Structure 1
């Protein structure tokens, strides 16, 4: 069976950046499971998964526009330290959910000063070209529940972790 709309695909992946540093991998855990066509993986990878079948191994390079988008410098902002009231220690790398006029956004602390904290609302992989090494493990038809819910369920019909 080929990966098409309304199928559930399981695959192993290793994700690297342009410097060939491993950013993430499923090789030592369960394969990634997703509902094809539900936009639950980056679009550049989903496009390349179309038509593949169990046993296929391939590599994909995903440009930022088809991955996590380009970096947007306006999403890097200095906010008063008082915005973190009730948090004793703030350090670079910490992530917070911020309420904005466009809705909730996850921000990452990049610098901490005495009066201000610099936060970045870009996805950590924004602006990065993503290099995937893929091995398709299985492909099956999606259940009506999975299609209705818009995501894959595990082998017991329960909501999957991915």
Structure 2
């Protein structure tokens, strides 16, 4: 079966930037799984997956616009320390999680004060040209429930109420 809209794709990847490996799904042994064609994947990576089949191995290089976007210098915001999750003591360069109306976001600490921290809201990989080395493990039809919810369900359901 080939990767097409509404198929569930399972794949391993190694992500690099300028010959420096950033992360790999092989590290924890678990492949990534997503529902193709439902905006759950980087647009450039999803486009490269289209038409591929289980067992295919390929590499794709994405410009920032196809990955995490260009870096925007004005994306620095002062956030109260009580809203930062992930550590008790904050230092510049650390990453934190914040909850917003749009969901969870990762931010990078730029400067820390007594009650607030200046945080860079850009994705850590914004502005970078990224290369994904991909190995497709499996492709299957999505279930009716997965299509209705717009995401893949692990064995036993998705864990949210309907």
Q: Please confirm whether the aligned pair reaches a TM-score higher than 0.5, indicating the same fold.
A: yes
Supply the distance in 1 between the matched residues of 2:83 and 2:61 (Cα, whole angstroms): 43
Match of 1:41 in 2: 41
Supply the distance in 1 between the matched residues of 2:83 and 2:142 (Cα, whole angstroms): 45
RMSD: 2.6
Supply the distance in 2 between the matched residues of 1:86 and 1:51 (Cα, whole angstroms): 43
Normalised TM-score (structure 2)? 0.82
1:84 aligns with one of 81, 85, 109: 81
Supply the distance in 2 between the matched residues of 1:151 and 1:61 (Cα, whole angstroms): 25
Supply the distance in 1 between the matched residues of 2:151 and 2:83 (Cα, whole angstroms): 36
Instruction: Work out whether residues 9 and 136 of structure 1, in 8 Å CA contact, stay in contact via their aligned partners in 2.
Output: yes
Supply the distance in 2 between the matched residues of 1:122 and 1:45 (Cα, whole angstroms): 20
Confirm whether residue 21 of structure 1 aligns to residue 24 of structure 2.
no
Pick closer, same or farther for the CA change 1:51–1:157 going to 2, 3 Å: farther
Supply the distance in 2 between the matched residues of 1:133 and 1:140 (Cα, whole angstroms): 21
Supply the distance in 2 between the matched residues of 1:67 and 1:39 (Cα, whole angstroms): 12
> What does the per-residue CA deviation read over 1:48-81, in whole Å, with 9 as the maximum and x for residues that have no partner?
000000110000001110111110111024x38x
Instruction: Work out whether residues 8 and 140 of structure 2, in 8 Å CA contact, stay in contact via their aligned partners in 1.
Output: yes
Deviation of the 1:112 alpha carbon? 2.7
Match of 1:148 in 2: 148
> What does the per-residue CA deviation read over 1:87-108, in whole Å, with 9 as the maximum and x for residues that have no partner?
86322214142658x8875432
What SS is found at the alignment partner of 1:46? helix
Count of aligned positions: 154
Supply the distance in 1 between the matched residues of 2:156 and 2:143 (Cα, whole angstroms): 9
Pick closer, same or farther for the CA change 1:150–1:116 going to 2, 3 Å: closer
Pick closer, same or farther for the CA change 1:110–1:98 going to 2, 3 Å: farther
List runs of 5+ in structure 1 lacking aligned partners. none
